[in-house]
Each structure stands twice: as C-alpha cells, then as structure tokens.
Amino acid sequence: MLRGLIVVTSLLIASDALAQSKRYPPEPVDEDEEEAKKSNLWDKASNPQRKPYDDLLAEAQTALDERGADSAKEAADKLTEAIQLLPDESRAYRLRGDAHTAMREWMKCAADYTDALLRIKRNEIEPKAVGDMRRKLGLCQARAGRLADAEKTLADAAASGVVSGEVWVRLGEVRIAMGKLDEAISALETAAEQTDVPLPLARWLLMGAYDRARKPALAAEAGRFAIEGRTEDGPRKQMDREMGLLKNPQLPLLGQGESEYLQALAGAYFDPPRPEQALVYFRKFLQLAPDSLWRKRAEEHLRDLKTADLPEYVDKRGGNAVLDVAAARLAVKKVMPQLRACLAKRPGLILEVTITKGGPRTPGNTAVPVRRGMPPDGTTTILRENLDAIGSVERDDAIRCTELVTDRLRPSLPSIKEKDTWYRAAFLIVGP
C-alpha cells in the first residue's frame, strides 16, 4: 500500500513538473554562441600555442595599464611575439594597435586595427566593441595623413549607431582638415547633441568651423559655450576656461597649427576679450602652417588685430576699492608703446602685469590694514605665454624692461579716497 502511494505521488510530481515546463519553456539556446564556446574549448585543448599566446596578451595588457612610453613599447614587443604564434587571431592586433597609439605611431596603429578587423570571427566580440575599434582606426588614419580613409571609416562607424558620440566629433575634425566645412559643421552639431562626448572639444571645433565658414555669430556662440559651459540663459555644463583641451589635447589636433588657430580665435570670446592672446597665437599659426587651407582667414584676423587699441581692457583682480576701469585703461594706454617695445624681438611672449594700489591708511592703527587684508603697493610681472620657448635670459630681460615702465605707471592709475581700501589691476603686454 505504501509502495503504491509513493508511485502515485511520484507520478503527480512528474506531471506537475511537465505542466510547469510547458507553462515556462526553457530559454532558447543560441546555437552560434554554443558552437563558439565548443570551438574555443577545443582550440585550447588541441592548440599548443594557445596558452603562451594568452600569457603574452595578459603581460602586454599589464604593461599597457602602466601608461608609459617604455611600457607601451614593451607591450608592443610582446604582442608581436603573440602574433607570430597565432597570426590569424585578432586580439593581439587590437592590443598592439593600442600600444602603437600610445606611442603615437599612427601608420602602425592604423595597420594593426585594420588587421584586427579583418580577423574578427563571428560572435567574437560585441558590435559596440567593433565600432569602437573602427573609431580608433579612423583616429590613426587621420593622424597618419590618410584623411579620405579616415572620413570613410568614421562615417561608416557613425552610421552603424553602436558607437560613442566621440565618433561624430572626430568625423567633424577630419572634415575640417579636408576643407569640407558644411559637412564638418553637420557632424559636429550632431556631436553636440550627444550625452557621451567631450562637449568643450566639440564646441571648440565648431567655433573653428563656423569661423572659417564666415559665420561669426555662430562661432562666438560656440566659443563662449566652450569657455563658460553654457549659453547666456542655459544651464552650466562642461567647460574649458583654461583651454586645456586645446593646449594639451589627448590626441594631437588635425592640421599643423590647429591648436594655435583655435586658441587665437578663442581670445575674442572671453569676457573681457583677450586680443593680445589672439594676436600672438595667429602669428604663431602663420609661422607653423604657411601652406594651410586657412592661412588667408588667419591673415584677415591678424590685420584686424593689428589695428586694435591696446590695452583692450584693464581687469580688476581683487580689492575692496572701486576701480575706474576707463581711467586705468587710459593711463596704461599712454605707456603701452614703451611696454610693447620691450617685446619687439620676442613675438611669442605674452606678459601679464598686476599693479596693487592702496588708499590712505588709518593713522596710528596698523592693525586695521592687516585685519582687512590690505596688501602693500607693488607691481608684479609674470609670463603668461612663451610660444617660441625663448630662454630664461631673454625672458628676464623682457620682464625687467617692462617693470621699469610699470613702476612709473602706478602713481598715474586712479587714486583711492577711502581709507584702508585697495584694488589690484591687471593687463597684458605683447610685442608690436
């Protein structure tokens, strides 16, 4: 009787399980994925080169993670060994492309990424990773001077829809270098709408494209957005007020002198503007890129800047006294020819002068100025830019020359009537 009960119970359990399996069918098996797994397992078991290959890739990845020039070279050497072991595998080519990119060997990294893409097997990596490799290939092709190849690679990657928004930034950059301004603007405007792009870089490049397309209002809007991280009434986003993405880009910008051109242009869009910056950087651009597509446009800017009435501004940098900026600018303007003469043979220098001036102090109460943080009167000259990398002797001579003039300038700056108050005024000097 007990035995019969057990049998019946087992049948009921089996029946219930069968009903549940029909109600919740098993997940479908991806036959291609299963086949790939079996193939990998078989390859590891049957191919004696597999383990040393994998070991070399692991060692190369460790070296790459150290992010140094020597470690990148070490990684590339190990990956060359790995490729000799299994020349039909894609992974070593991919990693060696990363190593050559780190060493800025553009022809080599372009060749490696091309070889990797040719060897990728079905279902080996996700489509997004393939798209990212195409992005890297386009970056290397562009910097190797193969602009048409780079444009096609990046355009195909962008069309796939599985890549980061940076592809649109780099596609726009390539098209600027090719002189295709309308297409460049279209790509960069698309990039600016993405959420995963280095937004200030997209705006800097848009600024340059609009300027060369002779759309100054749009160039100004893009430049101010890059500097301030917002439009006049918009929320603040990413900003690059120090122009770090132009001065020290992660990858060199395309086109000889492109960084200098964009920094020159940006000078007009700061508040207050910096025509001195623009003047020096456009000069440098013309020196670096005499055959550039954009030489004529730079010369136009330079002609306008040469008529600028310097100093364009005198900036208040601190203090609790009111600074009459118009009067201060007039005082500096009177001695500006002498100051610029100090830099006549040093066209790549920009000096910044700050002058501290205080009002009358409360007699017999030395604690008041200290308590209010009132500094002593004085003049300081610092080096802002040295585009020609002149030596310390010439640089110090230029600074001494300007200080002889600025020491005489301080008394002619607007006077202060309120006791225990002061201001600090600043302006820039460049050569004629």
What pLDDT is stored for residue 118 in this prediction? 94
Average pLDDT, the chain: 87
Can you tell me the mean pLDDT for 251-270? 95
What pLDDT is stored for residue 374 in this prediction? 76
Strands 315-319 and 349-358: unpaired
Work out the pLDDT band at 302, boundaries 50, 70, 90.
very high
Sequence-ordered list of residues with C-beta below 8 angstroms from that of 87, at least 6 positions apart, any chain: none
Whether the predicted pLDDT of 350 surpasses 80: yes
Mean pLDDT lowest among 4-13, 198-207, 223-232, 257-266: 4-13
Residue given tokens 């490729």 in the structure block: 83
Whether the predicted pLDDT of 23 surpasses 70: no
Residue type, 320: N
What pLDDT is stored for residue 7 in this prediction? 43
Q: Residue 280's Cα: distance from chain center in Å?
A: 21
Measured CA distances, 229 to 187, 194, 267 (Å): 20, 15, 16
Work out the pLDDT band at 49, boundaries 50, 70, 90.
confident
Work out the pLDDT band at 25, boundaries 50, 70, 90.
low
More confident position, 401 or 3? 401
Query: Taking a C-beta distance cutoff of 8 angstroms, is the pair 82, 116 a contact?
Result: no
Rounded to the nearest 10°, the torsion over CA 327, 332, 336, 342 is: 180
Whether the predicted pLDDT of 370 surpasses 60: no
Q: Residue 310's Cα: distance from chain center in Å?
A: 30
Sequence-ordered list of residues with C-beta below 8 angstroms from that of 264, at least 6 positions apart, any chain: 277, 278, 279, 280, 281, 282, 284, 285, 298, 301
Whether the predicted pLDDT of 29 surpasses 50: yes
Whether the predicted pLDDT of 158 surpasses 60: yes
Can you tell me the mean pLDDT for 109-119? 96
Most confident of 25-39, 75-89, 375-389: 75-89
382 SS3 class: strand
Can you tell me the mean pLDDT for 31-42? 52
What pLDDT is stored for residue 13 in this prediction? 44
What pLDDT is stored for residue 217 in this prediction? 96
Query: Taking a C-beta distance cutoff of 8 angstroms, is the pair 352, 368 a contact?
Result: no
CA distance 103 to 112: 13
Residue type, 233: D
Work out the pLDDT band at 127, boundaries 50, 70, 90.
confident
Work out the pLDDT band at 44, boundaries 50, 70, 90.
low
Q: Which two tokens stand for residue 2?
A: 């007990």
What pLDDT is stored for residue 12 in this prediction? 44
377 SS3 class: coil
Residue 115 CA neighbour count, 13 Å, CB half: 21
Can you tell me the mean pLDDT for 306-328? 91
Can you tell me the mean pLDDT for 245-251? 92
Closest CA relative to residue 247, chosen from 43, 384, 116: 384
Can you tell me the mean pLDDT for 358-386? 76
Whether the predicted pLDDT of 149 surpasses 60: yes
Whether the predicted pLDDT of 235 surpasses 80: no
